[in-house]
């Protein structure tokens, strides 16, 4: 298990839950944390009829608040979940952030924060033997509404050792 914190945003929790692989986070990282804004975003989704995980019933996910609100990036186009995940990352150097948002990734790069996304979790899970095929899960993710370009998919499948071009 990693010594550093693993901080997860809304979309990885949502998508991994919807494809039946939320437990990969526990398999790969043991315990993970998520900020209150993510819980609020999931509640909004649930109220809209979206199939979301009940974070309160998952013992290996802890809800952790940002200690200093001054660390929360004030970027208009950044969702509150991403902002709080980034702030927790700044408060906990060396932690791993898991989110899919491109703007959040650009901000993470500015602060030299480590991050991965939903498909990065899938690739790691395959490499460690928890998943037999990344391609089949990506197909389901796209059906669930995850936006992935063909170029991203090809890159991910190469990383997972599933590329037809190998």
Determine the Cα–Cα distance for residues 27 and 124; give it in Å rounded to an integer.
11
Average pLDDT for residues 21-42, to the nearest whole number? 96
Cβ within 8 Å of residue 94, ≥6 positions away: 3, 4, 114
| pLDDT score, position 69 | 75
What are the sequence ranges of the domains in the chain?
6-131
Q: Pick 6-131's CATH classification: 3.40.50.300, 3.40.980.10, 3.30.43.10, 3.40.50.1010.
A: 3.40.50.1010
Report the C-alpha dihedral over residues 68, 73, 77, 79, rounded to 10 degrees: -30
| pLDDT score, position 70 | 67
| pLDDT score, position 108 | 94
Question: What 3-state class would DSSP assign to 70?
Answer: helix
Residue 57 pLDDT class (50, 70, 90 cuts): very high
| pLDDT score, position 1 | 41
Cα–chain-centroid distance for residue 140? 16
| pLDDT score, position 76 | 64
Average pLDDT for residues 76-83, to the nearest whole number? 84
Determine the Cα–Cα distance for residues 85 and 27; give it in Å rounded to an integer.
21
| pLDDT score, position 13 | 97
Phi/psi for 131 (5° steps) reads -140, 135
């Amino acid at each position: 298990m990693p010594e550093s914190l693993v901080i997860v945003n809304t979309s990885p929790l949502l998508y991994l839950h919807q494809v039946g692989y939320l437990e990969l986070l526990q398999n790969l990282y043991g315990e993970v944390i998520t900020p209150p804004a993510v819980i609020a975003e999931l509640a909004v989704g649930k109220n809209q009829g979206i199939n979301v995980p009940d974070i309160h019933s998952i013992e290996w996910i802890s809800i952790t608040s940002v200690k200093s609100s001054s660390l929360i990036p004030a970027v208009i186009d950044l969702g509150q979940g991403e902002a709080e995940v980034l702030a927790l990352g700044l408060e906990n150097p060396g932690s791993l952030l898991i989110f899919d948002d491109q703007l959040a990734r650009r901000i993470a790069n500015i602060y030299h924060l480590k991050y991965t996304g939903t498909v990065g979790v899938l690739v790691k899970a395959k490499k460690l033997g928890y998943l037999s095929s990344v391609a089949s899960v990506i197909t389901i993710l796209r059906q669930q509404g995850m936006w992935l370009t063909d170029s991203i998919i090809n890159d991910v499948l190469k990383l997972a050792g599933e590329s037809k071009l190998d």
